[in-house]
């Protein structure tokens, strides 16, 4: 296809190197299966019993530590001592889960120096090890309702977390205010640990950092987490082994490796204090450099789109688009993406989750013709012959929506309105489409009925415009058709000019020959 119809590959919209950071494909070899089978009847049950005993004992200590506690003040005296015991209990639990020698690099900063600790990548619930390292028991950010869950509630409360009330419309502002209040206490409060990615990934990259931890503008200590095991039994993602499965598989391993690296405290510049997004980007870059992994603009919203794709009977990763990047570049909201995904799923193949040229033609009630191929090529940004959801969204925003102007629609309507009375009949639509796209009668009837919403036998401009707004692909098709026609006309004019020049040249030769004869 002609190169001029290819969309420029803007760097800002190029697909990410990591296709899906939310999937964990755990493949067990025969030896792995044997090891898990043996472990399931030997060390795993013993470890599990010890974990239950330690959990109950920790709960009792947490009850004592939180008895009569004023949650608005930091723990002191006996309660603070109990917190140190709970931190030790947490380390012992990890030992019984097979994490015998946790390698720690760097030094945890005191809360007076770095009131916030940002840990990444977040890939599993085993990441809570960071709460038990450092001075005492660190705090986290937790939903308010977690503090009322039996057994877990007391343990959660003992860490004095920053509680988030999701029913409170001012929750975000209150959370930031509470973090600031604690940060300005001079170290009286424990550090607040935050996993800024906001969801679990497979550690192949660092996804977009949420800005909540960075709005206060306080110093943070970045923390990098690694699990350099030959068999990855710890990763818990949206698509892969469930939470109980990875716990059991991990208990079946004789030894599990875990590394935690505390980076130097990051002090924000004045610009970063005013710009939480910039602050988050720079801290993420520091952690990514230490881990030597790429960064992407995937977010928790991509997970929501993955779930929506799965509910539409498509592969879950069909919904991955790097939402944050498209939101910034194209101005799309999550609800917009959900609606587009619903439309996309009605076009794409259910098994593969992508759109082929035949699917595209069927959706538009058009045959596969040159103008349609040209439009398809504009959507197919990587030239694979298939359109994925990301390419579909970009194509609608960059190709079809800009073409869907009043000028284009009016020009297209005049093309079909052969009688010039402001109405398009099925006969006039058929004549133009047969000429342009080689359509059959049945296909034209289906398309005509789709546009003629009131069924009165003709299409008005309002109906034509409304249909084009819902199906902007047609506007891109009209534009492509007009461009092709313009090129054909230009080529025809150029050919005529060449013929005229050739005829003129022949006449000059003939005239010269005649003059020669006269002279002779």
What phi and psi, each to the nearest 5 degrees, are found at residue 38?
-65, -45
Q: Which runs of consecutive H residues, i.e. helices, occur in 228-267? A: 243-251
Neighbours of 393 (CB within 10 A): 22
Residue 177 φ then ψ, to 5°:
-65, -40
Query: In the prediction, which pLDDT does 169 show?
Result: 75
Position 403 scores a pLDDT of 52
Please tell me the predicted confidence (pLDDT) of residue 284.
96
Please name which of 337, 373, 370, 371 lies closest in space to residue 356, comparing C-alpha atoms: 373
Report the chain (520 residues): mean pLDDT per 10 consecutive residues. Answer: 44 60 92 95 96 94 85 81 90 94 93 91 94 82 78 83 78 81 82 91 93 88 96 93 95 96 96 94 96 91 89 86 84 88 88 89 82 85 88 80 66 77 83 64 72 86 83 71 64 65 58 54
What confidence score (pLDDT) does residue 233 get?
96
Pinpoint the residues of the chain covered by CATH 1.10.238.10: 370-507
pLDDT of residue 279: 96
In CATH, which of 1.20.1600.10, 3.40.50.300, 1.10.238.10, 2.90.10.10 is domain 370-507? 1.10.238.10
**Structure pTM?**
0.76
C-alpha–C-alpha distance, residues 207 and 249, integer Å: 26
Q: What integer pLDDT is reported at residue 439 of this predicted model?
A: 54
Nearest to 98 by CA among 58, 55, 50: 50
> Cα(413)–Cα(422) distance, rounded to whole angstroms?
8
pLDDT at 5: 42
Q: Under a CB-based contact definition with an 8 Å cutoff, are residues 159 and 138 in contact?
A: yes
């Amino acid at each position: 296809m002609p190169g001029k119809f290819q969309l420029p590959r803007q760097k800002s919209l190029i697909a990410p190197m990591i296709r899906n950071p939310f999937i964990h494909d755990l493949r067990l070899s025969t030896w792995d299966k044997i090891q898990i089978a043996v472990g399931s009847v030997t060390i795993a049950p013993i470890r599990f019993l010890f974990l239950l005993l330690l959990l109950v004992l920790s709960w009792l200590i947490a009850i004592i530590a939180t008895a009569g506690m004023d949650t608005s003040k930091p723990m002191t005296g006996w309660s603070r001592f109990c917190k140190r015991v709970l931190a030790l209990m947490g380390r012992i639990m990890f030992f019984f889960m097979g994490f015998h020698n946790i390698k720690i690099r760097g030094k945890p900063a005191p809360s007076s120096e770095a009131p916030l600790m940002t840990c990444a990548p977040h890939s599993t619930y085993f990441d809570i090890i960071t709460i038990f390292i450092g001075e005492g028991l660190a705090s986290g950010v937790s939903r308010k309702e977690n503090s009322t869950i039996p057994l877990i509630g007391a343990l959660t409360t003992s860490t004095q977390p920053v509680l988030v009330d999701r029913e409170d419309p001012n929750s975000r502002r209150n959370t930031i205010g509470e973090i600031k209040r604690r940060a300005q206490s001079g170290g009286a409060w424990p550090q607040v640990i935050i996993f800024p990615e906001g969801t679990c990934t497979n550690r192949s990259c660092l996804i977009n950092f949420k800005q909540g931890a960075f709005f206060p503008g306080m110093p943070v200590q970045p923390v990098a987490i690694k699990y350099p095991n030959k068999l990855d039994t710890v990763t818990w993602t949206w698509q892969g082994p469930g939470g109980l499965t990875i716990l059991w598989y991990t208990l079946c391993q004789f030894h599990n490796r875990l590394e935690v690296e505390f980076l130097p405290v990051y002090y924000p510049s004045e610009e970063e204090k005013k710009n939480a997004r910039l602050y988050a980007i720079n801290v993420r870059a520091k952690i990514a450099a230490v881990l030597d992994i790429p960064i992407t603009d995937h977010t928790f919203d991509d997970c929501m789109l993955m779930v929506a794709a799965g509910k539409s009977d498509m592969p879950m990763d069909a919904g991955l688009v790097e939402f944050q990047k498209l939101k910034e570049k194209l101005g799309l909201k999550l609800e917009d993406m959900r609606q587009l995904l619903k439309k996309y799923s009605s076009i794409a193949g259910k098994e593969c989750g992508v759109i082929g040229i035949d699917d595209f033609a069927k959706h538009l009630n058009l045959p596969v013709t040159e103008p349609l191929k040209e439009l398809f090529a504009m959507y197919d940004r990587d030239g694979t012959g298939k359109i994925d959801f990301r390419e579909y969204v970009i194509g609608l925003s960059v190709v079809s929506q800009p073409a869907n102007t009043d000028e284009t629609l009016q020009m297209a309507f005049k093309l079909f309105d052969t009688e010039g009375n402001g109405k398009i009949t099925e006969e006039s639509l058929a004549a133009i489409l047969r000429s342009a796209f080689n359509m059959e009668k049945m296909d034209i009837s289906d398309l005509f009925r789709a546009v003629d919403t009131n069924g009165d036998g003709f299409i008005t401009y309002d109906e034509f415009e409304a249909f084009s707004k819902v199906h902007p692909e047609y506007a891109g098709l009209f534009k492509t058709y007009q461009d092709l026609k313009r090129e054909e006309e230009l080529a025809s004019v150029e050919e005529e000019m060449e013929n005229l020049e050739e005829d003129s040249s022949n006449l000059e030769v003939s005239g010269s020959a005649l003059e020669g004869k006269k002279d002779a």
